[in-house]
Structure 1
Amino acid sequence: MESTESEIVVFFLLLLPHANSISFSFSGFQPNMPDIFFENDSFATGGLLQVTKNQVDDSLTSSIGRASYAEPVHLWDASTGRLTDFTTHFSFAIKAVNDSVYNSATKNLSVFLTYADNPVFSGNSTLSYVVDLTKVLPEWIRVVDDSLTSSTGRASYAEPVRLWDASTGRLTNFTTHFSFAIKAVNDSVYGDGLSLFLAPFDSRIPPDSSGGYLALFSAKSAFNTSQNKIIAVEFDSRQDEWDPSSDHVGININSIISVQKVQWKSSIKNGSRANAWVSYNSATKNLSVFLTYADNPVFSGNSTLSYVVDLTKVLPEWIRVGFSAATGESIELHTVYSWEFESTLEASGGKGKKSFGLVVALVVTIGVLTCGSGGYWFIWWRKRVGPRKEDMALELAIDDEFEKGTGPKRFTYRELSHATKNFSEEGKLGEGGFGGVYKGLLSDSKTEVAVKRVSRGSKQGKKEYVSEVKIISRLRHRNLVQLIGWCHEHGELLLVYEFMPNGSLDTHLFGGNSTLTWTVRYKIALGLASSLLYLHEEWEQCVVHRDIKSSNIMLDSNFNAKLGDFGLARFVDHELGSQTTVLAGTMGYLAPECVTTGKASKESDVYSFGVVALEITCGRRPVEPRAEPSKTRLVEWVWSLYGKGQLFEAVDKGLSMEFDQRQMECLMTVGLWCCHPDSTHRPSIRQVINVLSFEAPLPNLPMTMPVPMYFAPPMHMCTFSYTSSATPTDSQSHQSGCSCNICTSDSSMSLGSSKALLKLPKPDV
């Protein structure tokens, strides 16, 4: 039976508030084209898209098909409620095989039909219907969500990365920073997650690796540690049978079961941008992870999840570094916004790969074929001259700083290389956020020194180097680590300090070294307070250290405390005593107002001193994720015991009750006083010394830890708790002010003030 075919031009229109735009256009369709998702009987042939079967036989009956754009389309913005405007135009034909029996229907939001040869759309509609799309569709659509299920993907750096040197056995230190978002398409059911992975360079996505296997392992090999060679940091958003909970961060070694994990408390449903740092310390073999949702985060080497692993035992010399993600029956969107990677082990030898730093926020491809020779010459000139000019500028700036002070001298690289036995790994004392510290012996004076070597290519390390030179070279105090000299040659940044034979305070409190006696501990607290008094009040300018913690307190041969690491320190005005800056410091030691306002001050330094004072008395870190919930946070736990009159229950068991009770009560109470959530109720460091010297009475603190209150809105920071522990209880909202008889009474703001304040819960650390 003969039938006719008509060409119909359709315009699809919905007028709503404008949102971010997207556009695509297809003049024809090809089989298996990646931009179209074909379902059931739909297919492409001859440049046309057939939505159902087109063979004239019985198989045409009961045929169904769908074809949709392969990528999600942003329909409305969940954070603002804004809807998009959109217009879609398509030409199509419906051909009846039997003119007497057929069925067709067109149902759309707004449709304009025309048979004109040269149609022009004027906004008129033949059929329309009013509907609020935010009520019936999710924020991101693809016409059919099933196309997102069982999806796997990887994106990695295109070149091999050198992890360790097979000839010397030397491991690299590396730090990688990336920002990403995981967006749930359905708020109630979503999965499965994203990961950063390190694997042999020839590694590819295994078969059957969707869902909870995160495109890392196949279902058959996921639990076979001897069969796999891969290390991953997973951001898992769905609970599988091998997972302890949903929404967790884990470190995986050759298995889908994490060897270390923490609960991921921040919601992923709204697609908020997260920042993660993953770093590896070759000296300690420590792989650590830090995750935050802060607006302007700064990484200071701290971590909330870590695991000790020798990478040479797991991975080959050259590896692939990248991201993997997967969905299963539940779906979500995985987006990486930016990526940086820095490694200290220079690539050399047969493979000829160079050490690199990645910034994958924007990729720009430029072709300049006609200027090839000129471009080559310019690049060669910049490589030869550019770095040298930068080195000279830095040397002149540092020379000028040292000329203002006395004492520190300039060393040659050859001198320091000889002193440290070519920076031998055997003489490595430790690893900081931006480089290693090596023990050395100066040949001329036979003086033992500690040489800090900033990692090559580390921009943040260079900033800290210059900051430390500017500040510590001009300071002289018995409780500050003395800077002996410096070196800046051939791109190397080196600082030379007096050697501290007893290491740092944290190694004695938590590292299993010999337990410090109470007399030594109290002397250390007084010495630290003395160094802060010098920085805050006694030197010509006020210096805010910003990173006071037990690992930055060094101990000389007589266990005298010496404060070091001035990389984050800043000069401030004596009158103001504060500086608004980006968030910096170490979580657990940061004052609450630093997290919410970014303002560093003498008061925030005093808060950090208080945390260290409690570490000295209690012999534990500021946060113990494995402890029972009531004891997780040191300050809160000790304050609760203070309110019960049971302060000594927090005393370090390693002291075996051998301590001066009056001094112990004094230091613990002063520690809490310094950690008062309201900075206006903290003591000055001079008041601290007066109380510790028993020249002033102990303060009377609230029985319950007060709730911090600030004018500024909070930053949204991700918090962690180990999955083996229950969720910490909510902070108590006690609002009585400090009744201390030492604090001044004319404070501009107190917890009992009638001013309009924004009350915040105590920030998690």
Structure 2
Amino acid sequence: MAMSPNRIIALPLILILSLAASQDTSFSYHGFRSANLSLDGMAKITSDGLLELTNTTMFQTGHAFYPSPIILKNSSNGNALSFSSTFVFAIIPNPDSPIRGGDGIALVIAPTSGLPGGSFGHNLGLFNYTNNGNPSNHVVAIELDTFKNPEFEDINNNHVGIDINGLTSNISAPVEYYIDDNSGVGSSLELVGGHQMQIWMEYDGVEKQMTVTLAPINATKPKKPLLSLDTDLSPKFYKNMYIGFSASNGVLVAKQYIVGWSFRINGQAPKLDRSRLPVSTLLTVPQSGDKKRSKFFTIGLPVIIVSLAVGAISSLFSVVRRKRQFAELREDWELDYGAHRFTYKDLYIATGGFREKELLGSGGFGRVYRGVLPTSKIQIAVKRVSHESRQGMREFVAEIVSLGRLRHRNLVPLLGYCRRKEELFLVY
């Protein structure tokens, strides 16, 4: 039976449409709660729908890939197809570290859904020391690099680069976006600032040009891209490739998130509706430094000042109390008679604070204690005249004068005296 002309025309048309459909892959994720991604390493989907590539664990990597391979080359001529992708990300610094860390995130196109040879730290989970720079890698990545590695010729610790088969970027630039005011002046941004930002990556298979554009989450896409690289990706790609994300931590760590993501072959990636992106406390900008400083000035500093003031007052009272405890009276007659005067402190120490066990005896004149002078170690006897003593100051002075002048083998020599408040002391 002969086929009608209409069917003959329709068959190639169906094949063309089928081929076009197979080359028009498109997807978008406003959060990842129900996403079926291929995850490994530290990567996980959080309860509120964020794609967490790394947490604050050192020396780890995280990978997340779209689960199905994507046709990126034209079957007839082997040329790389046009494609575009956009994603929103946030890198949250470790609040417990004085140095903002992590090594960064990469949007990566690779031959496999995962990078089994990708190492942690500055390798971004993409390569290792053995395969870095090898043309057989067939890996293309957009790196958001937060650590300066001289061995990879990094320009700083806050840049975006296009990497082909290795970590030495084919082109890179400091992180900034261009406000469309015709000035050509970019506005700087910080990758590890904890703020959400959006990346647009586009490859023109006809012009063989790749561009990367960046802006804060609330800004419109700038007309001027941050990076523009003339390159033919045809020899870098296999027909079927996988697209996804890679991130890593080294000694310095950070939480690195993807909030939303879209991709399309042969056209603009679907726009991300910011109102549909997940809202999470995990994306809260840490205020550790400012918060700690604020708490220090509002709470800590006043507490310290009050504590110091209380300490100073206590110390002052202690000094005054000690001075009062050991305060002594001095009068003019002492200069006339010249007997040796002891400090009350020395007598106090010598007698152990006039302890009862050092008491030798007592009488109407007072109590007598034994002791040892702290400096000379001379044994002494101290007569402490009580307040109730019937003898007055005149008798006390007379005894000092007379005994100070007497020298007899049968008399205990007077070594000196002391006066404190209303107390009188004779030292033998």
Question: Normalized against structure 2, the TM-score is what?
Answer: 0.45
* Structure whose residues are more often strand by fraction: 2
Choose between structure 1 and 2 for higher RCO, CA contacts under 8 A separated by at least 6 residues. 2
Question: Normalized against structure 1, the TM-score is what?
Answer: 0.26
